[in-house]
A = this chain, B = another copy of it.
C-alpha cells in the first residue's frame, strides 16, 4: 500500500484539488498501481492523499462515468475489472471516432498540424530507440490528441479519452519493447504521410490498422492472467 501522504504525488493547493485527484487516480488505475477489483474507499484515499473526502468523491464519480471504477451505493467502490466485452466495445468505438477524425484531418490539414505531427514522430523515434516506455507513452497519447485538436475537434479527444482508459490498462499489461515502439512509430508515420498528402482513404485505413494492434494482445492476455479479467 501507499504510505500516508504518498511520496511523489504531491498536489498543488493552488489548483482545483478535485481535478488533480481525478487525474492522479486515473493514472494510477491505468498504470495498474490500483489493481482491478481492488477496493477503493473514499475515506482511505482522502487520508492518503492528504485531502478531504469531497474532492475524492467527485473524482470517483467521474471515473465511474468512464467505468474505470464501479460504485456500489452504500457498499463500496472498486476498481473495475477488465471486462473483455467492454474492451472490445471501447476498441470499436475508438476506431469509429478516430477513423472519422483522421479522415477529416486528411481532407484539409492545417500547416501547424503537419508541423506538430512531424515533430512528434521525431520525438517518438528518439524515445523508441532509447527504449523507454515511460517516455514513449505520453508521446503516443500526444500524437492522437494532436490530430483531434489540430483539426478543430477538441471534443472528439475528450470522447476518445473516455473510452481509452480500459484499453490502456491492457496495453500496460503487455510491456512494450523497443521493437514494438518502433513499429508503432512507423504506423504513426504512415498515418502522418496520408494526412500530409491529403489522402483520406489511406489515412483512415492506416488509422484502423494501427488501432487494431491492441486487439491482438488482449486475447492472449485474457488466457494468461484470468484473475484480472472479469
Contact = CB atoms under 8 A, between A and B. Distances in A.
Interface residues of A, number: 32
Contacts of A18: 61
Contacts of A146: none
A73 B18 CA distance: 12
A159 B163 contact: yes
A153 interface: yes
A155 interface: yes
Interface string A83-115: 001100110110111011100100000000000
Contacts of A155: 67, 86, 89-90, 93, 163
A93 B163 CA distance: 14
A14 to B, nearest CB: 11
A156 B58 contact: no
A51 B90 CA distance: 36
Interface string A149-165: 00011111011001100
A35 interface: no
> Which of A16, A57, A92 has most B Cβ within 10 Å?
A92
B16 A89 contact: no
A97 B67 CA distance: 19
A149 to B, nearest CB: 11
Interface string A6-50: 000000000010100000000000000000000000000000000
A200 B97 CA distance: 18
A92 B62 contact: no
Nearest to A98: B96
A12 B188 CA distance: 51
